[in-house]
Structure 1
């Protein structure tokens, strides 16, 4: 089961622009920033949150196409891809910091795009502060990680296995961690060169932060919180990595079941891309995202005129 939790984490898991400047969320001299941010473009603000052990560079191609029309904010979270780590708990800290960032930057109803772990954070942010978020775009992520492979799982039933996973993960050597990462990335990214990029990010990530993030996702069930989300939400899921183990219909049914408490959700399953959909099908991904951005902006404009 601990191995399954690790694999499930990557199922729901893993832009630096020369013209952009690097900024960090506010921090004290003794407290590292919760994330680094790259900002570029003008227009409707869009926040991009990467997944487990990933850099914000995962959004490079997407943002390069969007920054002409949108104000893009690309995050690299603390402890991932070379960023300094922050004390645990990880997920609640990130949720609070994201809301604080939106307020401090004066962003008006940004669209939040989250991949994997970033999708979980996007959902948590939209549930914590529904008045701050104008839309949510989820890339291959669900509100309760263990139920992705074990539909009957609960936070209580998952905790012993999450505890076991955390103990075993902390005992791994560097070589074992890197080998496990590469094994998982081979399943969830099609292109070999991109797998190497993601593997480097993983090697540069703080192992305790990665372990703690997976642990917290494994014992935190956001499904009851979804009803607080008022923003339009698009979920783009992938099932190819589970082909041969779980039928497509079962994967889609699982996704729909996990999001049943979110009345604003629209769900689509991608039939060819693996977990890193923005890498496996950049054109198709961009078309889906752009459609959501334009539809959401139009709806917001109509609402403001009422």
Structure 2
């Protein structure tokens, strides 16, 4: 019964995949082997100036940031991440089931070893959760945070009354369902999901390809961790200003005011938080409304 419901309920909110577009004129970097989590991500840098770190979401390529990074590189040094097990970055075979928390430590280590001072962090989807956790656990390392279409507790998108205690059962069932799908079922579900995640039809085939290039177990483990992590009680620890950018479209089937209220209530414990809604967009705001999204980023960085 639950697995049938999960297909319907996750809808546009199920955080999967991204466009697989190569980043041009970028220098590839690896995390220093001296850091214990150096295998957890790869980084490309481009441009010069103040530092901006871009974190893609679940099963996403760094390519979702290509257009944004090209616009920023004349005035910023842009660090574009890709997480191990997603898209073209190899998975880690001996991972203990944790995906998000170790990456947070890896990014903190990267900021320290590269001597980056107060970078702006922009994270989409699961990358937004990582950005928030970085601000919670390492408040002195970040200058400002932008969270794109993500909540501090993902389960609220499925059940507004969810708690971290009752989320575990749902998370276990979802992880098992992802792992149990046949290759044909997995492809079919990726195609169905991406139609809800990207309004722009032209990008959908690449989105599906990126998801299918990702490691299934890494996806399943990340979804479980995402569904069982509730950062709301810890948001007050974040010192940096937070900008929440989120999508809305009439096809969601709910009033815009209801979506506005969900985001504001979810982030109510944060000290310095601002909200920007981008209409006529699905989950991949930077692909559906690139000009409006770039404008929101420019305002965020120039504050």
Superposed pair shares fold, TM > 0.5: yes
Of 35, 48, 53, which residue of structure 2 is paired with 1:47? Answer: 53
Secondary structure at the residue paired with 1:168? helix
For residue 122 of structure 1, report the CA deviation from its aligned partner: 0.3
The Cα offsets for residues 1-48 of structure 1, whole Å up to 9 and x where unpaired, read as: 4335644652597474332221122348x9871111110011110000
Measure the CA separation in 2 of the matches of 1:57 and 1:13: 11
Alpha-carbon separation, structure 1, partners of 2:52 and 2:116: 9
Is contact 1:223-1:259 (8 Å) kept?
A: yes
Q: Alpha carbons of 1:4 and 1:96: their partners in 2 closer, same or farther (altered >3 Å)?
A: farther
Q: Does the Cα contact within 8 Å between 2:31 and 2:39 map onto a contact in 1?
A: yes
Deviation at 1:138, TM superposition (A): 1.0
Which residue is equivalent to 1:74?
80
1:235 pairs, out of 244, 249, 264, with 244
Q: Distance in 1 between matches of 2:150 and 2:191?
A: 20
What is the CA distance between 1:147 and its match in structure 2?
0.8
Specify the alignment match of 1:276 in structure 2. Answer: 284
Give, in whole Å, the separation in 1 of the partners of 2:143 and 2:72. Answer: 17
Structure 1 consecutive aligned stretches of length 4 or more whose deviation exceeds 4 Å: 11-15
Name the CA shift for 1:275/1:6 in 2 (closer, same or farther; >3 Å).
same
Unaligned runs of 5+ in 2: none
Helix, strand or coil: the match of 1:268? strand
Q: Does structure 2 conserve the Cα–Cα contact (< 8 Å) formed by 1:10 and 1:52?
A: no
- Per-residue deviation, 1:187: 1.2
Cα RMSD (Å): 2.1
Q: TM-score, normalised by structure 2?
A: 0.92
Structure 1: which 5+ residue stretches go unaligned? Answer: 296-306
TM-score by length of structure 1 reads 0.91
Residue number among 6, 9, 13 corresponding to 1:2 in the alignment: 6
> What CA distance in whole angstroms lies between the structure 1 residues aligned with 2:17 and 2:147?
11
Aligned partner of 1:90 in structure 2 is 99
Aligned length: 294
Measure the CA separation in 2 of the matches of 1:242 and 1:158.
Answer: 27
Equivalent-residue separation in structure 1 for 2:227 and 2:286 (angstroms): 24
